[in-house]
Structure 1
Protein backbone atom coordinates (compact mmCIF):
# COMPACT_ATOMS: atom_id res chain seq x y z
CA UNK A 1 0.00 0.00 0.00
CA UNK A 2 1.35 3.50 -0.81
CA UNK A 3 2.94 5.12 2.27
CA UNK A 4 1.96 2.07 4.37
CA UNK A 5 4.08 -0.12 6.60
CA UNK A 6 2.24 -3.31 5.58
CA UNK A 7 1.13 -4.53 2.17
CA UNK A 8 -1.96 -6.09 0.67
CA UNK A 9 -0.79 -9.57 1.69
CA UNK A 10 -1.03 -8.79 5.42
CA UNK A 11 -4.27 -6.84 4.99
CA UNK A 12 -5.80 -9.82 3.16
CA UNK A 13 -4.72 -12.28 5.85
CA UNK A 14 -6.30 -10.06 8.53
CA UNK A 15 -9.56 -9.86 6.55
CA UNK A 16 -9.62 -13.62 5.99
CA UNK A 17 -9.00 -14.38 9.65
CA UNK A 18 -11.69 -11.92 10.74
CA UNK A 19 -14.49 -12.68 8.29
CA UNK A 20 -13.50 -16.14 7.08
CA UNK A 21 -12.58 -17.67 10.43
CA UNK A 22 -14.38 -15.22 12.76
CA UNK A 23 -11.23 -14.53 14.82
CA UNK A 24 -11.09 -11.69 17.35
CA UNK A 25 -8.54 -8.88 17.08
CA UNK A 26 -6.31 -10.35 19.85
CA UNK A 27 -6.46 -13.77 18.14
CA UNK A 28 -5.52 -12.24 14.76
CA UNK A 29 -2.65 -10.37 16.40
CA UNK A 30 -1.35 -13.55 18.04
CA UNK A 31 -1.65 -15.43 14.76
CA UNK A 32 0.42 -12.81 12.92
CA UNK A 33 3.06 -12.73 15.67
CA UNK A 34 3.39 -16.53 15.45
CA UNK A 35 4.00 -16.12 11.71
CA UNK A 36 6.88 -13.78 12.43
CA UNK A 37 5.09 -10.51 11.60
CA UNK A 38 6.15 -7.68 13.90
CA UNK A 39 2.90 -5.80 14.40
CA UNK A 40 1.02 -4.09 17.23
CA UNK A 41 -2.54 -5.08 18.15
CA UNK A 42 -3.75 -1.55 17.45
CA UNK A 43 -2.26 -1.80 13.95
CA UNK A 44 -4.30 -4.97 13.34
CA UNK A 45 -7.45 -2.95 14.06
CA UNK A 46 -6.31 -0.21 11.67
CA UNK A 47 -5.52 -2.68 8.90
CA UNK A 48 -8.88 -4.39 9.34
CA UNK A 49 -10.47 -1.00 8.71
CA UNK A 50 -8.34 -0.67 5.56
CA UNK A 51 -9.57 -4.12 4.47
CA UNK A 52 -13.20 -3.09 4.92
CA UNK A 53 -12.59 0.13 2.98
CA UNK A 54 -10.96 -1.79 0.13
CA UNK A 55 -13.87 -4.24 -0.04
CA UNK A 56 -16.39 -1.40 -0.09
CA UNK A 57 -14.38 0.41 -2.74
CA UNK A 58 -14.21 -2.70 -4.89
CA UNK A 59 -17.97 -3.21 -4.75
CA UNK A 60 -18.74 0.41 -5.65
CA UNK A 61 -15.90 1.18 -8.01
CA UNK A 62 -16.42 -1.17 -10.94
CA UNK A 63 -18.17 1.43 -13.11
CA UNK A 64 -15.42 4.01 -12.59
CA UNK A 65 -12.76 1.41 -13.42
CA UNK A 66 -14.52 0.39 -16.61
CA UNK A 67 -14.74 4.01 -17.76
CA UNK A 68 -11.09 4.65 -17.01
CA UNK A 69 -9.94 1.60 -18.93
CA UNK A 70 -12.10 2.56 -21.91
CA UNK A 71 -10.49 6.01 -22.01
CA UNK A 72 -7.09 4.36 -21.79
CA UNK A 73 -7.86 2.03 -24.70
CA UNK A 74 -5.65 -0.86 -23.58
CA UNK A 75 -4.14 -2.59 -20.53
CA UNK A 76 -0.79 -4.15 -19.69
CA UNK A 77 -1.18 -6.77 -16.98
CA UNK A 78 1.22 -7.35 -14.10
CA UNK A 79 0.77 -10.67 -12.29
CA UNK A 80 2.32 -11.36 -8.91
CA UNK A 81 1.77 -13.79 -6.04
CA UNK A 82 2.09 -12.56 -2.44
CA UNK A 83 2.63 -15.24 0.19
CA UNK A 84 2.48 -14.06 3.84
CA UNK A 85 3.95 -17.35 5.12
CA UNK A 86 5.35 -20.55 3.64
CA UNK A 87 2.68 -23.23 3.25
CA UNK A 88 -0.25 -20.80 3.32
CA UNK A 89 -2.49 -19.43 0.61
CA UNK A 90 -0.94 -17.14 -1.97
CA UNK A 91 -2.68 -13.85 -2.74
CA UNK A 92 -2.53 -13.41 -6.51
CA UNK A 93 -2.88 -9.83 -7.71
CA UNK A 94 -3.49 -8.83 -11.32
CA UNK A 95 -2.82 -5.14 -11.89
CA UNK A 96 -2.90 -2.81 -14.88
CA UNK A 97 0.54 -1.22 -15.26
CA UNK A 98 -0.76 1.80 -17.18
CA UNK A 99 -3.36 2.97 -14.67
CA UNK A 100 -2.01 1.25 -11.57
CA UNK A 101 -5.48 -0.20 -10.91
CA UNK A 102 -5.86 -3.64 -9.31
CA UNK A 103 -8.09 -5.65 -11.63
CA UNK A 104 -8.31 -8.83 -9.58
CA UNK A 105 -7.01 -10.14 -6.25
CA UNK A 106 -7.66 -13.66 -5.05
CA UNK A 107 -6.15 -16.15 -2.60
CA UNK A 108 -5.30 -19.57 -4.01
CA UNK A 109 -4.19 -22.73 -2.25
CA UNK A 110 -2.19 -23.77 -5.31
CA UNK A 111 -0.62 -21.95 -8.24
CA UNK A 112 -0.97 -24.44 -11.06
CA UNK A 113 -1.38 -23.48 -14.71
CA UNK A 114 -5.08 -24.31 -14.39
CA UNK A 115 -5.54 -22.01 -11.37
CA UNK A 116 -3.72 -19.08 -12.97
CA UNK A 117 -5.44 -19.60 -16.31
CA UNK A 118 -8.79 -19.21 -14.57
CA UNK A 119 -7.64 -15.88 -13.11
CA UNK A 120 -6.46 -14.61 -16.48
CA UNK A 121 -9.68 -15.65 -18.20
CA UNK A 122 -11.69 -13.79 -15.58
CA UNK A 123 -9.64 -10.64 -16.10
CA UNK A 124 -9.81 -10.99 -19.88
CA UNK A 125 -13.61 -11.18 -19.76
CA UNK A 126 -13.88 -8.28 -17.30
CA UNK A 127 -11.74 -5.64 -19.03
CA UNK A 128 -13.46 -3.74 -21.87
CA UNK A 129 -10.23 -3.14 -23.81
CA UNK A 130 -7.49 -5.28 -25.40
CA UNK A 131 -4.66 -6.74 -23.31
CA UNK A 132 -1.46 -5.55 -25.02
CA UNK A 133 1.12 -7.19 -22.77
CA UNK A 134 1.87 -9.12 -19.59
CA UNK A 135 4.64 -8.64 -17.02
CA UNK A 136 5.52 -11.23 -14.36
CA UNK A 137 8.37 -13.18 -12.88
CA UNK A 138 9.67 -16.26 -14.66
CA UNK A 139 7.50 -18.82 -12.85
CA UNK A 140 6.77 -21.66 -15.25
CA UNK A 141 3.04 -21.96 -14.46
CA UNK A 142 2.56 -18.23 -15.11
CA UNK A 143 4.27 -18.51 -18.49
CA UNK A 144 2.13 -21.50 -19.39
CA UNK A 145 -1.07 -19.79 -18.28
CA UNK A 146 -0.31 -16.64 -20.28
CA UNK A 147 0.56 -18.65 -23.39
CA UNK A 148 -2.67 -20.63 -23.04
CA UNK A 149 -5.12 -17.81 -22.27
CA UNK A 150 -3.48 -14.91 -24.10
CA UNK A 151 -1.87 -16.37 -27.23
CA UNK A 152 0.14 -13.81 -29.17
CA UNK A 153 0.22 -11.30 -26.31
CA UNK A 154 3.83 -10.27 -25.49
CA UNK A 155 4.99 -11.58 -22.10
CA UNK A 156 7.92 -9.82 -20.45
CA UNK A 157 9.94 -10.80 -17.40
CA UNK A 158 9.55 -8.20 -14.63
CA UNK A 159 12.40 -5.68 -14.74
CA UNK A 160 13.12 -6.06 -11.04
CA UNK A 161 13.30 -9.86 -11.20
CA UNK A 162 15.47 -9.63 -14.32
CA UNK A 163 17.80 -7.13 -12.66
CA UNK A 164 18.00 -9.26 -9.51
CA UNK A 165 19.03 -12.33 -11.47
CA UNK A 166 21.51 -10.41 -13.60
CA UNK A 167 23.05 -8.79 -10.53
CA UNK A 168 23.34 -11.99 -8.48
CA UNK A 169 27.09 -12.56 -9.12
CA UNK A 170 27.78 -8.92 -8.23
CA UNK A 171 25.59 -9.19 -5.14
CA UNK A 172 27.43 -12.32 -3.97
CA UNK A 173 30.79 -10.60 -4.36
CA UNK A 174 29.52 -7.49 -2.61
CA UNK A 175 28.14 -9.52 0.29
CA UNK A 176 31.49 -11.30 0.68
CA UNK A 177 33.29 -7.94 0.68
CA UNK A 178 30.91 -6.65 3.36
CA UNK A 179 31.64 -9.66 5.57
CA UNK A 180 35.36 -9.06 5.18
CA UNK A 181 34.95 -5.38 6.06
CA UNK A 182 32.93 -6.15 9.18
CA UNK A 183 35.64 -8.51 10.39
CA UNK A 184 38.14 -5.63 10.22
CA UNK A 185 36.00 -3.21 12.22
CA UNK A 186 36.48 -3.91 15.92
CA UNK A 187 37.13 -2.00 19.09
CA UNK A 188 33.90 0.00 19.36
CA UNK A 189 32.67 -1.53 22.62
CA UNK A 190 36.00 -1.09 24.50
CA UNK A 191 35.96 2.61 23.56
CA UNK A 192 32.39 3.01 24.78
CA UNK A 193 33.29 1.39 28.12
CA UNK A 194 36.11 3.89 28.61
CA UNK A 195 33.70 6.76 27.93
CA UNK A 196 30.94 5.66 30.32
CA UNK A 197 32.23 7.79 33.22
CA UNK A 198 33.31 10.76 31.12
CA UNK A 199 31.11 13.72 30.14
CA UNK A 200 33.58 16.19 28.60
CA UNK A 201 33.19 17.43 25.02
CA UNK A 202 36.05 15.32 23.67
CA UNK A 203 34.59 12.11 25.11
CA UNK A 204 31.16 12.93 23.69
CA UNK A 205 32.70 13.51 20.27
CA UNK A 206 34.43 10.12 20.40
CA UNK A 207 31.17 8.52 21.52
CA UNK A 208 29.51 10.08 18.47
CA UNK A 209 32.02 8.29 16.25
CA UNK A 210 31.17 5.02 18.02
CA UNK A 211 27.48 5.52 17.23
CA UNK A 212 28.33 6.33 13.62
CA UNK A 213 30.29 3.09 13.26
CA UNK A 214 27.51 1.03 14.87
CA UNK A 215 24.91 2.60 12.58
CA UNK A 216 27.10 1.92 9.56
CA UNK A 217 27.51 -1.75 10.41
CA UNK A 218 23.75 -2.35 10.84
CA UNK A 219 22.49 -0.33 7.85
CA UNK A 220 22.04 -2.85 5.04
CA UNK A 221 21.36 -1.96 1.43
CA UNK A 222 18.54 -3.29 -0.70
CA UNK A 223 20.02 -5.46 -3.44
CA UNK A 224 20.13 -5.29 -6.38
CA UNK A 225 19.41 -1.55 -6.21
CA UNK A 226 21.93 -0.82 -3.48
CA UNK A 227 25.25 -2.62 -2.89
CA UNK A 228 25.56 -2.92 0.89
CA UNK A 229 29.28 -3.77 0.77
CA UNK A 230 30.15 -0.67 -1.22
CA UNK A 231 27.86 1.38 1.00
CA UNK A 232 29.66 0.09 4.11
CA UNK A 233 33.07 0.83 2.57
CA UNK A 234 32.08 4.39 1.64
CA UNK A 235 30.67 5.18 5.08
CA UNK A 236 33.63 3.72 6.95
CA UNK A 237 35.93 5.71 4.71
CA UNK A 238 34.02 8.90 5.53
CA UNK A 239 34.30 8.17 9.27
CA UNK A 240 38.01 7.41 8.95
CA UNK A 241 38.63 10.60 6.97
CA UNK A 242 36.73 12.64 9.55
CA UNK A 243 38.85 11.20 12.37
CA UNK A 244 42.00 11.94 10.39
CA UNK A 245 40.97 15.57 9.90
CA UNK A 246 40.30 16.01 13.62
CA UNK A 247 43.60 14.38 14.52
CA UNK A 248 45.40 16.67 12.11
CA UNK A 249 43.93 19.75 13.79
CA UNK A 250 44.19 18.41 17.36
CA UNK A 251 46.92 15.88 17.93
CA UNK A 252 45.59 15.07 21.40
CA UNK A 253 42.07 14.20 20.26
CA UNK A 254 42.42 10.39 20.46
CA UNK A 255 45.58 9.73 22.50
CA UNK A 256 44.04 6.93 24.54
CA UNK A 257 42.13 5.25 21.70
CA UNK A 258 44.63 5.03 18.83
CA UNK A 259 44.84 1.24 18.86
CA UNK A 260 41.07 0.82 18.80
CA UNK A 261 40.31 3.41 16.14
CA UNK A 262 42.94 1.95 13.87
CA UNK A 263 40.43 -0.83 13.14
CA UNK A 264 38.01 1.73 11.74
CA UNK A 265 40.30 2.72 8.89
CA UNK A 266 39.51 1.23 5.50
CA UNK A 267 42.36 0.60 3.08
Structure 2
Protein backbone atom coordinates (compact mmCIF):
# COMPACT_ATOMS: atom_id res chain seq x y z
CA UNK A 1 0.00 0.00 0.00
CA UNK A 2 2.86 2.37 0.74
CA UNK A 3 6.44 2.46 -0.42
CA UNK A 4 7.89 4.91 2.08
CA UNK A 5 11.13 3.98 3.77
CA UNK A 6 9.52 3.66 7.22
CA UNK A 7 6.72 1.40 5.95
CA UNK A 8 9.16 -0.81 4.05
CA UNK A 9 11.51 -1.01 7.05
CA UNK A 10 8.64 -2.26 9.19
CA UNK A 11 7.67 -4.89 6.62
CA UNK A 12 11.25 -6.09 6.28
CA UNK A 13 11.71 -6.38 10.05
CA UNK A 14 8.43 -8.29 10.31
CA UNK A 15 9.43 -10.68 7.51
CA UNK A 16 12.88 -11.21 9.08
CA UNK A 17 11.31 -12.05 12.46
CA UNK A 18 8.80 -14.50 10.91
CA UNK A 19 11.33 -16.44 8.82
CA UNK A 20 12.92 -19.49 10.36
CA UNK A 21 15.91 -19.31 7.99
CA UNK A 22 18.67 -16.72 7.92
CA UNK A 23 18.65 -14.03 5.23
CA UNK A 24 21.96 -14.04 3.38
CA UNK A 25 21.20 -11.45 0.72
CA UNK A 26 18.57 -9.19 -0.73
CA UNK A 27 17.93 -8.30 -4.37
CA UNK A 28 15.68 -5.41 -5.37
CA UNK A 29 15.30 -2.67 -7.93
CA UNK A 30 17.16 0.56 -7.31
CA UNK A 31 14.32 2.45 -5.63
CA UNK A 32 15.85 4.72 -2.99
CA UNK A 33 13.24 3.98 -0.30
CA UNK A 34 13.86 0.22 -0.67
CA UNK A 35 17.63 0.64 -0.48
CA UNK A 36 17.33 2.75 2.67
CA UNK A 37 14.80 0.39 4.26
CA UNK A 38 17.10 -2.60 3.67
CA UNK A 39 20.08 -0.69 5.11
CA UNK A 40 18.04 0.17 8.21
CA UNK A 41 16.29 -3.18 8.78
CA UNK A 42 19.20 -5.47 7.88
CA UNK A 43 22.47 -3.53 7.84
CA UNK A 44 24.68 -6.67 7.82
CA UNK A 45 22.87 -8.34 4.89
CA UNK A 46 24.37 -7.74 1.43
CA UNK A 47 21.99 -5.92 -0.91
CA UNK A 48 22.37 -5.80 -4.67
CA UNK A 49 20.37 -4.50 -7.58
CA UNK A 50 18.32 -6.87 -9.68
CA UNK A 51 20.29 -7.89 -12.78
CA UNK A 52 17.44 -6.94 -15.09
CA UNK A 53 17.12 -3.43 -13.66
CA UNK A 54 20.88 -2.96 -13.53
CA UNK A 55 21.40 -4.00 -17.15
CA UNK A 56 18.40 -1.99 -18.33
CA UNK A 57 19.82 1.15 -16.73
CA UNK A 58 23.31 0.44 -18.06
CA UNK A 59 21.94 -0.01 -21.58
CA UNK A 60 19.75 3.12 -21.64
CA UNK A 61 22.33 5.48 -23.20
CA UNK A 62 23.07 2.99 -25.97
CA UNK A 63 19.37 2.38 -26.57
CA UNK A 64 18.64 6.12 -26.76
CA UNK A 65 21.51 6.70 -29.21
CA UNK A 66 20.32 3.82 -31.40
CA UNK A 67 16.72 5.08 -31.32
CA UNK A 68 17.85 8.57 -32.34
CA UNK A 69 19.97 7.16 -35.18
CA UNK A 70 17.02 5.12 -36.45
CA UNK A 71 14.77 8.19 -36.40
CA UNK A 72 17.33 10.16 -38.44
CA UNK A 73 17.77 7.32 -40.94
CA UNK A 74 14.01 7.06 -41.43
CA UNK A 75 13.91 10.76 -42.29
CA UNK A 76 16.34 10.13 -45.14
CA UNK A 77 14.19 7.45 -46.82
CA UNK A 78 10.76 9.04 -46.60
CA UNK A 79 10.69 9.70 -50.36
CA UNK A 80 9.78 6.13 -51.31
CA UNK A 81 6.09 6.78 -51.99
CA UNK A 82 6.61 9.38 -54.78
CA UNK A 83 8.93 6.92 -56.53
CA UNK A 84 6.28 4.20 -56.26
CA UNK A 85 3.65 6.56 -57.68
CA UNK A 86 5.91 7.38 -60.62
CA UNK A 87 5.96 3.72 -61.72
CA UNK A 88 2.31 2.87 -61.04
CA UNK A 89 0.68 1.22 -64.02
CA UNK A 90 3.98 0.16 -65.53
CA UNK A 91 4.79 -3.53 -65.86
CA UNK A 92 8.18 -3.39 -67.57
CA UNK A 93 11.37 -4.81 -66.09
CA UNK A 94 12.68 -1.42 -64.97
CA UNK A 95 9.47 -0.73 -63.02
CA UNK A 96 9.71 -4.14 -61.34
CA UNK A 97 13.29 -3.42 -60.25
CA UNK A 98 12.34 0.00 -58.88
CA UNK A 99 9.35 -1.51 -57.08
CA UNK A 100 11.57 -4.20 -55.53
CA UNK A 101 13.98 -1.56 -54.20
CA UNK A 102 11.07 0.42 -52.75
CA UNK A 103 9.80 -2.70 -51.02
CA UNK A 104 13.26 -3.36 -49.61
CA UNK A 105 13.38 0.15 -48.14
CA UNK A 106 9.87 -0.21 -46.69
CA UNK A 107 10.73 -3.57 -45.12
CA UNK A 108 13.91 -2.13 -43.62
CA UNK A 109 12.21 0.74 -41.82
CA UNK A 110 9.37 -1.31 -40.31
CA UNK A 111 11.53 -3.79 -38.37
CA UNK A 112 11.80 -2.60 -34.77
CA UNK A 113 13.47 -5.43 -32.85
CA UNK A 114 13.42 -5.81 -29.09
CA UNK A 115 15.74 -3.50 -27.15
CA UNK A 116 18.26 -3.59 -25.59
CA UNK A 117 19.49 -6.82 -27.19
CA UNK A 118 18.50 -5.81 -30.70
CA UNK A 119 19.83 -2.47 -31.93
CA UNK A 120 17.19 -1.68 -34.56
CA UNK A 121 18.87 1.59 -35.60
CA UNK A 122 22.12 -0.21 -36.30
CA UNK A 123 20.29 -2.96 -38.18
CA UNK A 124 18.41 -0.34 -40.23
CA UNK A 125 21.69 1.34 -41.11
CA UNK A 126 23.15 -1.99 -42.25
CA UNK A 127 20.10 -2.79 -44.38
CA UNK A 128 19.97 0.65 -45.97
CA UNK A 129 23.70 0.43 -46.67
CA UNK A 130 23.17 -2.91 -48.40
CA UNK A 131 20.42 -1.35 -50.55
CA UNK A 132 22.67 1.61 -51.34
CA UNK A 133 25.55 -0.71 -52.29
CA UNK A 134 23.23 -2.65 -54.57
CA UNK A 135 22.07 0.57 -56.26
CA UNK A 136 25.70 1.63 -56.71
CA UNK A 137 26.51 -1.70 -58.37
CA UNK A 138 23.48 -1.33 -60.61
CA UNK A 139 24.54 2.18 -61.63
CA UNK A 140 28.03 0.93 -62.51
CA UNK A 141 26.65 -1.88 -64.65
CA UNK A 142 23.64 -0.36 -66.37
CA UNK A 143 23.08 3.17 -65.10
CA UNK A 144 20.15 4.34 -63.05
CA UNK A 145 16.63 4.06 -64.39
CA UNK A 146 15.54 7.29 -66.10
CA UNK A 147 13.35 8.62 -63.30
CA UNK A 148 15.73 7.98 -60.37
CA UNK A 149 18.54 10.32 -61.42
CA UNK A 150 16.61 13.31 -60.07
| TM-score, length basis structure 1 | 0.45
Tell me if the contact between 2:24 and 2:46 (Cα under 8 Å) persists in the aligned partners: yes
Displacement after TM superposition at 1:196 (Å): 2.9
Q: Give per-residue Cα distances to partners, 1:85-111, cap 9 Å, x unaligned.
A: xxxxxxxxxxxxxxxxxxxxxxx4x32
8 A Cα contact 1:175 1:228, kept in partner: yes
Q: How does 1:89-238 map to 2 (within 5 A)?
A: 108=1, 110-117=2-9, 120=12, 124=16, 129-200=21-92, 202-238=94-130
Distance 1:205 1:111, change over 3 A: farther
Are the aligned partners of 1:164 and 1:223 in contact in 2 as well (CA < 8 Å)?
no
Q: Provide structure 1 residue ranges, at least 5 long, that are not aligned to the other structure.
A: 1-107, 261-267
Tell me the equivalent position of 1:258: 148
User: 1:137-195: per-residue Cα shift (whole Å, max 9, x none)?
Assistant: 21111112322344322211233333343344444443443333233223200122123
Cα distance between partner residues in 2 of 1:127 and 1:235 = 56
What is the CA distance between 1:212 and its match in structure 2? 2.4
How far apart, CA to CA, are the structure 2 residues paired with 1:227 and 1:221?
7
Structure 2 gaps, min length 5 = none
Larger radius of gyration: 2
Larger helix fraction of residues: 2
The two structures have a TM-score, normalised by structure 2, of 0.70
- The answer as to whether partners of 1:124 and 1:131 remain within 8 angstroms in 2 is yes
**Greater relative CO, 1 or 2 (CA 8 Å, sep 6+):** 2
Equivalent residues of 2:94, 2:145 under 8 A apart: no
In structure 1, what is the Cα distance between the partners aligned to 2:117 and 2:13? 34
Of residues 204-213 and 240-249 in structure 1, the stretch that sits farther from structure 2 once superposed is 240-249
**Structure 1 pair 240/163, CA: closer, same or farther in 2 (3 Å)?**
same
CA shift at 1:114, angstroms?
4.2
Runs of 4+ in 1 over 6 A off after TM superposition: none
* CA contact 1:135–1:156 (8 Å) conserved in 2: yes
